[in-house]
Structure 1
Amino acid sequence: MTQFSFFSVIVPTYQRNDLLAKCLDCLIPEIQTLPAEQYEVIVTDDGFQITAQEMIREFYPWVKWVAGSRKGPAANRNNGAKYARGEWLVFTDDDCLPDPQWLEAYAEAIVAEPACLVFEGRTYVDRPRRSLAETSPVNESGGYLWSCNFAVKKQLFESLTGFDERFPYAAMEDVDFRLRLVKSGYKFSFVKTASVCHPWRAKGGWNKIKQHREATFIYLSIHAEELVNINSVYYLLFALRSFVNQTVPAILQFNFTGINEAFLEHFAYLYMSVLLWRYSLTSMKSLKNQ
């Protein structure tokens, strides 16, 4: 039998012990098909009102619990990676449910593609969508490198200084990591069998939209050249396409359930289009004055 690499599974969490428990239940050595001696699980906990420390001590003694830095998801993932003993880091989120063959699939991919240092897995949903108010980061064909399901050689992760901790929310930090990875000349491979379920969740409302807006401008302040791709036209077309292709058909399918959340989201896209138009004008004036 091929000797697989040792994995460190990093699970960031923040005051969601109920969801975290379901995630850890999927990572129990008796459930995962990869031998227990070939992986560790690290929960890095940003909680302050409640933490998962006691729950893990009592029910998951094989899991390593560490206190997070309380600086957001990007910093929390980096914090977990600091404690990793594995040659490879595997990231998922506390609201995900890894399949039994999840880690073994990554291990087999590493053996099959020894030159590849980054792999992303499949992220799917648990059931058909029931409402326009539901959302999930579905990834059925690859190309996204969402932070909820990917594996990276620890040495490479450290050379890229991990996730950029200037991102305070769960938004755009994985997009930034993917861009820096590609700019450094690395490619990532999609492993469909390395799958996790990300159940449908309620959209975060205006607060989540505000976080995405702030994160987008942080991203553009770091990668000014990306204004060519992420600009007012991008958000305008995105709003129109999603309205025509998704919202209109779903209105009848879901009997208008979640329509308020859907329209709020479309309004946010249009608002972002205006903000980015103003941002691009300001950027051009700054370049002319230099």
Structure 2
Amino acid sequence: MKFSPLFTVIIPTYNRNDLLAKCLDCLVPGIQTLPKEQYEVIVTDDSPETTAEEMIQQRYPWAKWVAGPHKGPAANRNNGASYAQGEWLAFTDDDCLPDPQWLEGYAQAQINQPSTLVFEGRTYVDRPKNTLGETSPINESGGFLWSCNFAIQRQLFESLGGFDERFPYAAMEDVDLRLRLMKMGNNFLFIQSASVCHPWRYNGGWKKLRQHQESTIIYLSIHPEELATINYKTYLIYTLRGFIKTTIPGLLKFRYSGFKEAFLEHISFLYMALKLYFIFNFR
């Protein structure tokens, strides 16, 4: 008889076996409160050198390892989805720690709201912030549909063509998916109990900020109507608000720890404001 689970958990990974192991530890059958026959786990691995295949075979034989396409996170998630047997796809990242009731929360939501085809869960941090340079995609009230914690009916995901693989980095590809879903009339609900912990990470420096800039340009070229809400004024206001509400108070609170990273982020957003102004006003 063909195995037909309710959920397929998709975890994209890239050279982070230590973090991936912690994530998989949270998904061990018996740790998750959802019965083991109701979900499967697929790790789609874009690592160019040391892969997670051997680790999964030895320590997590209940999970399926597949080689990624090496075309970026969007393509890697789509690759994992192509192997799915579940009715629903549940996405999280290799640096997240799903709570024991994560999948059960989504399963109950699907029962309570059978007409809803997309849900997002709560994403929280493991401790108070220690420096200005730490960041995390905290989602305590919904409205984001970030790729680190959401569930979508597989048929709907496939009808959308999955994530847009024109996005080469882990930035804006989930915003694009959210917009396309909403244009199709698919609203999503926030499920508090479907929670994952996303520990604080450092913001990744200039490389990560540059990737965000490039991804935003791609997003606006695909959805030019979004210039009404994402433009140079948006970045100027965001920079000013962040400096006043976060950076200045943080200088005293964190004793300048992480100030370099925070200052670099402000400079990056100011640069992005100028870039958007010249690209979309003088083309």
TM-score normalised by length of structure 1: 0.95
Q: 1:244 & 1:61 partners in 2: Cα distance?
A: 50
Alignment partner, residue 212 of structure 1:
212
Is contact 2:13-2:45 (8 Å) kept? yes
Paired residue type of 1:60: Y
Q: 2:211 & 2:177 partners in 1: Cα distance?
A: 18
Root mean square deviation, CA, Å? 1.0
**Which ranges of structure 1 fall in alignment gaps of 5 or more residues?**
284-290
Q: 1:272 & 1:169 partners in 2: Cα distance?
A: 17
What is the Cα deviation at residue 5 of structure 1? 6.7
Alignment partner, residue 286 of structure 1:
none
Alignment partner, residue 22 of structure 1:
22
- Given the alignment of the two structures, is residue 191 of structure 1 paired with residue 191 of structure 2, yes or no? yes
Moved over 3 A (4+): none
Alignment partner, residue 137 of structure 1:
137
Alignment partner, residue 251 of structure 2:
251
Alignment partner, residue 273 of structure 2:
273
Aligned residue-pair number: 280
Is contact 1:5-1:107 (8 Å) kept? no
Alignment partner, residue 167 of structure 1:
167
Alignment partner, residue 282 of structure 1:
282
Alignment partner, residue 177 of structure 2:
177
Alignment partner, residue 157 of structure 1:
157
> What SS does the aligned partner of 1:152 have?
strand
- Given the alignment of the two structures, is residue 6 of structure 1 paired with residue 11 of structure 2, yes or no? no
What is the Cα deviation at residue 279 of structure 1? 1.6
Alignment partner, residue 52 of structure 2:
52
What is the Cα deviation at residue 268 of structure 1? 0.7
Deviations 1:204-261 (A, max 9, x none): 1000011001000000110011111110000000000011111111111101100011
Q: 2:250 & 2:127 partners in 1: Cα distance?
A: 16
> What SS does the aligned partner of 1:174 have?
helix
Deviations 1:93-131 (A, max 9, x none): 000000000000000000000000000000000000000
Alignment partner, residue 91 of structure 2:
91
Identity %: 67
What is the Cα deviation at residue 202 of structure 1? 1.1
What is the Cα deviation at residue 282 of structure 1? 2.5
Closer/same/farther in 2, CA of residues 65 and 96 from structure 1, 3 Å limit: same
> What SS does the aligned partner of 1:130 have?
coil
- Given the alignment of the two structures, is residue 75 of structure 1 paired with residue 93 of structure 2, yes or no? no
Deviations 1:58-82 (A, max 9, x none): 0000000000000000000000000
**Which ranges of structure 2 fall in alignment gaps of 5 or more residues?**
none
